[in-house]
Amino acid sequence: MKKHIFSKLKILTVLFISLNITSCKRPGRDIYNYDEVGKTTAVTFGTIIKSRSIGIIGKNSGITAGVVGAAGAGGGSYVGGNSGTAWAVGIGAVAGGIIGYLIEQGFSDREGVEYTVVLENGVVITAVQELPKKETPLPVNSRVIVQNTGGFQRVLPAEDLPTEIKRPKGIKIND
């Protein structure tokens, strides 16, 4: 009875970790990291001259591999007898680790887009960003702004922004 409950606990742990991995949001066009809030970012205007779909290999923490490997080792402990149990534990741990790694990698890999942008100063840059499933890439010849925050770049649409405005009023200080 005790081993049966322990086995269910392992399965629930693996499911919990897998759900946590899949629910992570990443920065994109409409999603910002918490540490970006409240910071100003200088932008440069430009025009997209090329875009192409790319794959992004996500970061694999190894946590799922460890948990599923432990579950595999636990499952292997029920197999075989005497020295066979040790082999089953080892094989279960290795197989579980590989399966856990592949599961986490599958959830962390994602689709993206690489934009080639000519900036208003004539410099040509490329910027890679994640492309969530609900979004489509910005079209070639689109007017965009490029945010640059310490090496992290984000390309955003700028078609709705004016191309000319009056200088903002400043504050004159009288002594």
Rounded alpha-carbon distances, angstroms, from residue 119 to 71, 129, 134, 142, 156: 53, 17, 27, 12, 13
pTM score of the predicted model? 0.58
Q: Is a pLDDT exceeding 60 seen at residue 47?
A: yes
* For residues 89-116, average pLDDT: 72
Q: Is a pLDDT exceeding 60 seen at residue 88?
A: yes
pLDDT band at 21 (very low <50, low <70, confident <90, very high): very low
Element (H, E) at 125: strand 124-130
Q: Is a pLDDT exceeding 60 seen at residue 23?
A: no
Rounded alpha-carbon distances, angstroms, from residue 79 to 51, 87, 95, 99: 54, 9, 14, 19
Say which residue, 56 or 73, is predicted with more confidence. 56
Say which residue, 111 or 16, is predicted with more confidence. 111
Q: If one looks up domain 32-57+110-159 in CATH, what number appears? A: 2.40.50.840
- Contact call for residues 119 and 45 (beta carbons, < 8 A): yes
Cα 156 to Cα 31: distance, rounded to the nearest angstrom: 12
Element (H, E) at 67: helix 63-76
Domain boundaries, the chain: 1-25+58-108, 32-57+110-159
Radius of gyration of the chain from its Cα atoms, rounded to whole angstroms:
25
pLDDT band at 120 (very low <50, low <70, confident <90, very high): very high
Highest mean pLDDT among 1-10, 95-104, 158-167 belongs to 158-167
pLDDT at 138: 94
- Among 27, 98, 93, smallest CA distance to 62 is for 98
- When the pLDDT of each residue in the chain is averaged and rounded to a whole number, the result is 75
